[in-house]
Amino acid sequence: MSNAALLSVEDVAVDLPTARGNLRAVDRVDLALGAGKTLGIVGESGCGKTMLSRAILQLLPKKAKLTGRVMFDGQDLARCSAETLRKLRARSLAVVFQDPMTSLNPVLTVGTQLIETLQEHLELDALSARRRSVELLAAVGIPAPEQRLTQYPHQLSGGMRQRVAIAIALSCEPKLLIADEPTTALDVTIQAQILDLLAREQKRRQMAMILITHDLGVVAGRTDEVAVMYAGRVVERAPTQILFKQMHMPYTEALLAAIPKLDTAPHTPLPAISGRPPDPTRPLKGCSFAPRCRYAASRCEAEKPLLASAETASHQYACFHPIKLAAGVGA
Amino acid sequence: MATLDLTIGEDVAAVPARRKRRLGRLFWAAFGWMIFVFAVALLADVLPLPSPTDMDMLERRAPISAEHWLGTDGLGRDELARLVHGARISLVVGVCAPVIGLTFGGALGMLAGYFRGRFETFVVGSMDVLLAFPPLILALAVTAYLGQSIFNLTCILGVLSIPAFMRVSRAATLTLARREFVIAAQAIGASHARILLRELLPNVMLPLLVFFLLGVAVIIVAEGALSFLGLGVPPPISSWGSMIGEGRESLEVAPQLAFFPAIAMFLTVLSFNLVGDALRALTDPRQGAL
């Protein structure tokens, strides 16, 4: 990892106190992201993806406890004062949420929401803020942007709303954009458009992006690096191409196998991952994926595997029985 | 067979026509009455009416005539003039008291619902105390100490309405503060004040305004009840409640003296309720859809 990383998450853990005991939502995660790069975070529901993104933004629920360091642009976000944090969020961080139905204010027009954000952040006067909003809406592919300004979120379709949310996120020219499942609530046909839009704007603006998703297909062509999360931990991390070429973690393999393929015969059962993720309030002694893993041995249940480097330093995985895909394909 | 016309209109990208929301005749009738009462109350001094306090002892309880359109009361004062001037008092108290409740209750409720924690416990606790206190006793105590005046009456009723407004605004804020658009606002660096005023207030305002209209109706009745008991406005000022109270004494001889103000109050309260209900029906679906 280069030292000039824009964002580096160091040993971050998030604990949520619940009625059933302490819930460790994020378990000692290390990540780094350079300026202008894209990191994909993949994992199934409840594996801590969103909590990790909230931890980066310091927007965790009040009761949550965060340990570790979140270094952004040379500052530790976890130890910033509320005011510095607010200014930092205003200038360099932005988020796009999963559900555009709820991430826009229902009683304010699109224009109000956009123009006010611009006036606040870039200190523009009303007229130039308006002009800028029209440009932004046009940039995110909204037809007739002038008219959209006067409309309320409920008058727009889901895809349009997500575009507006992206426009608001881009409005303050962030250095880092966190897209938390930006396409989960959308139609498949719109998904690709939104992802392409994000990729295009990311390139144009040279911003770093964290793309959180449960769909390996989404990260495949659009990220520089992928981190696979399971039960709050990063279990495999690699540059995207390497990950797809030779994955080492059985969980990654199982995730990939669970993607429906076009060329299989109809009615072929989809290879699902059996069982359920472990109860996060009762941490397992060994590897958290062991109960569902087909390679699991006795050691996996007794000892927790740590992230170790594979062939290259950039490829890390946490498994005692890494699969050797290149060799194992035929066998 | 007719061919299906599948051409899509060219104006797809145009602004969708703002759907006319149907309010119905009842709403407009109620709204019209509200406007009428407000106008009459505002113009009471300009209207060619006899003085509401001039007594004519020769014409006590006069029937309806060209000179006195609604007759005169037990002291020979023109009933219509008293009704119109009474509308002033009823409306001033009926609107100002809920404004006090809306302002303080609304603000307290939003702060409590947004910041939670000890502040919320304190606010909710003190409101519970206020609610548990018998309102009539409080009104009696305050008028006994500070004297009868419109200002005191408005303040008492206003303070008594704070808890209800606080509850409405806190409940709305509680659900809204968890929504993603608030987190999104925080994520782009909005301050607490900004989130409260620009993100939450427009959302909380809708239920609060509807509740305000219903509150006006309740307060008009409450003012009537207090005036009826002699705790309201001091005589000779007329308010609808005090007029009903005075009319009660001559109910057998001149029942109209109690009925006219009662009808005026009934229609006005009904109008406020109808308008409030119609507005709530308007705002509800949109809240539900998003």
What is the SS3 assignment for B54-111? CCCHHHCCCCCCCCCCCCECCCCCEHHHHHHHHHHHHHHHHHHHHHHHHHHHHHHHHH
In the block, which residue shows the tokens 């020979």?
B76
Bridge partners, residue A70, by sequence: A9
pLDDT at residue B234 tops 90: no
DSSP H helices, A5-140, are 49-57, 82-92, 100-103, 110-122, 126-139
The reported pLDDT for the residue numbered B165 is: 92
Q: What percent of chain B has pLDDT above 90?
A: 11
Whether B290 and A102 lie within 8 Å, measured CB to CB = yes
The reported pLDDT for the residue numbered A288 is: 84
**What ranges do the domains of chain A cover?**
253-261+269-331
Instruction: Say yes or no: B198 contacts chain A, CB-CB below 8 A.
Output: yes
Whether B290 and A153 lie within 8 Å, measured CB to CB = yes
Angle at Cα B266 formed by Cα B263 and Cα B268, nearest 5°?
105
Alpha carbon of B44: minimum distance to chain A alpha carbons (Å) = 39
What tokens appear for A148 in the block?
């959209």
CB contacts, 8 Å: B186 with chain A = 59, 89
CB contacts, 8 Å: A153 with chain B = 290
Cα–Cα distance for residue pair A326/A314, rounded to 1 Å? 18
In which residue ranges of chain A is pLDDT below 50? 1-2, 326-331
Distance of CA A104 to the CA centre of its chain: 19
Task: Provide CB contacts within 8 A for A233, sequence distance 6+.
Answer: A27, A28, A29, A48, A288, A318
Whether A97 and B180 lie within 8 Å, measured CB to CB = yes
Phi, psi for residue A58 in degrees, rounded to 5: 60, 40
Instruction: Say yes or no: B197 contacts chain A, CB-CB below 8 A.
Output: no
CB contacts, 8 Å: A116 with chain B = 198
Instruction: Say yes or no: B17 contacts chain A, CB-CB below 8 A.
Output: no
- Report B:81-120 residues touching A (Cβ under 8 A): 116
Whether B289 and A154 lie within 8 Å, measured CB to CB = yes
The reported pLDDT for the residue numbered B253 is: 74
Cα–Cα distance for residue pair B60/A20, rounded to 1 Å? 78
- Mean pLDDT, rounded, for B79-86: 81
User: Residue B92's CB: how many other CB atoms inside 10 A?
Assistant: 18
DSSP H helices, B133-149, are 135-146
Cα–Cα distance for residue pair A118/A170, rounded to 1 Å? 10
Cα–Cα distance for residue pair A78/A68, rounded to 1 Å? 8
At A79, which amino acid appears?
Answer: R
Whether B187 and A93 lie within 8 Å, measured CB to CB = yes
Whether B181 and A172 lie within 8 Å, measured CB to CB = no
- Residue A74, SS3 per DSSP: coil
The reported pLDDT for the residue numbered B101 is: 92
- Is there a contact between A107 and B206 (Cβ–Cβ < 8 Å)? yes
What tokens appear for A180 in the block?
């938390």
- Is there a contact between B184 and A103 (Cβ–Cβ < 8 Å)? yes
User: Residue B254's CB: how many other CB atoms inside 10 A?
Assistant: 20
Task: Provide CB contacts within 8 A for B57, sequence distance 6+.
Answer: B75, B76
CB contacts, 8 Å: A149 with chain B = none
Instruction: Say yes or no: A120 contacts chain B, CB-CB below 8 A.
Output: yes
Instruction: Say yes or no: B289 contacts chain A, CB-CB below 8 A.
Output: yes
Range ranked top by mean pLDDT from A222-231, A307-316, B50-59, B230-239? A222-231
Cα–Cα distance for residue pair B92/B90, rounded to 1 Å? 6
Instruction: Say yes or no: B287 contacts chain A, CB-CB below 8 A.
Output: yes
- Mean pLDDT, rounded, for B156-175: 90
The reported pLDDT for the residue numbered B110 is: 92
- Is there a contact between A222 and A244 (Cβ–Cβ < 8 Å)? no
CB contacts, 8 Å: A118 with chain B = none
Whether B188 and A143 lie within 8 Å, measured CB to CB = no
pLDDT at residue B99 tops 90: yes
The reported pLDDT for the residue numbered B67 is: 67
Structural domains of chain B in order of their starting residue, each with its CATH number: 67-289 (1.10.3720.10)
Whether B181 and A105 lie within 8 Å, measured CB to CB = yes
Cα–Cα distance for residue pair A162/A190, rounded to 1 Å? 10
If one compares A249 and B6, the residue with the highest pLDDT of the two is: A249
Instruction: Say yes or no: A57 contacts chain B, CB-CB below 8 A.
Output: yes
- Residue A293, SS3 per DSSP: coil
Cα–Cα distance for residue pair A104/A82, rounded to 1 Å? 24
Whether A154 and B198 lie within 8 Å, measured CB to CB = no
- Mean residue pLDDT of chain B comes to 79
Locate the chain A residue with the closest alpha carbon to B289: A154
Bridge partners, residue A26, by sequence: A14
Cα–Cα distance for residue pair B70/A74, rounded to 1 Å? 82
How far apart are the two ends of chain B, measured CA to CA in Å? 42
Cβ-based contacts under 8 A for chains A and B: 87
Task: Give the range among A298-302, B53-57, B86-90 with minimum mean pLDDT.
Answer: B53-57
Cα–Cα distance for residue pair A208/A175, rounded to 1 Å? 6
Alpha carbon of B202: minimum distance to chain A alpha carbons (Å) = 6
Whether A169 and B188 lie within 8 Å, measured CB to CB = yes
What tokens appear for B150 in the block?
């419109």
**Which residue of A105, A106, A150 is in closest CB contact with B286?**
A106
Cα–Cα distance for residue pair B165/A118, rounded to 1 Å? 34
The reported pLDDT for the residue numbered A329 is: 40
CB contacts, 8 Å: B189 with chain A = 86-91, 93, 121, 172
pLDDT at residue B7 tops 50: no
The reported pLDDT for the residue numbered B10 is: 43
The reported pLDDT for the residue numbered B66 is: 64
Helix, strand, coil percentages in chain B from 3-state DSSP, rounded to 5: 70, 0, 30
pLDDT at residue B268 tops 50: yes
The reported pLDDT for the residue numbered B102 is: 93
The reported pLDDT for the residue numbered B211 is: 87
Q: H or E element: which one contains A254?
A: helix A250-257
At B46, which amino acid appears?
Answer: V
Indicate the pLDDT class of residue B12, thresholds 50, 70 and 90.
very low
The reported pLDDT for the residue numbered B182 is: 87
What tokens appear for B254 in the block?
């001149």
If one compares A78 and B287, the residue with the highest pLDDT of the two is: A78
- Is there a contact between B200 and B176 (Cβ–Cβ < 8 Å)? yes
- Mean pLDDT, rounded, for B164-190: 87
**Which residue of B186, B187, B202 is in closest CB contact with A107?**
B202
Interface test with A, best of B118, B178, B180 (most A CBs within 10 A): B180
Residue B43, Cβ density class (10 Å: 0-12 exposed, 13-18 middle, ≥19 buried): exposed
Q: Nearest CA to B247 among B233, B228, B264?
A: B228
Alpha carbon of B199: minimum distance to chain A alpha carbons (Å) = 7
How far apart are the two ends of chain A, measured CA to CA in Å? 35
Radius of gyration of chain A (CA): 21
The reported pLDDT for the residue numbered B9 is: 42
Q: In what order do the strands lie in the sheet with A316-317?
A: A93-96, A176-180, A208-213, A38-42, A225-230, A233-239, A316-317, A308-309
What tokens appear for B199 in the block?
């993100």
Instruction: Say yes or no: B282 contacts chain A, CB-CB below 8 A.
Output: no
In the block, which residue shows the tokens 């030779």?
A246
Bridge partners, residue A239, by sequence: A225
Q: H or E element: which one contains B51?
A: none
Whether A102 and B189 lie within 8 Å, measured CB to CB = no
- Is there a contact between A88 and A72 (Cβ–Cβ < 8 Å)? yes
The reported pLDDT for the residue numbered B105 is: 92
The reported pLDDT for the residue numbered B57 is: 65
The reported pLDDT for the residue numbered A1 is: 44
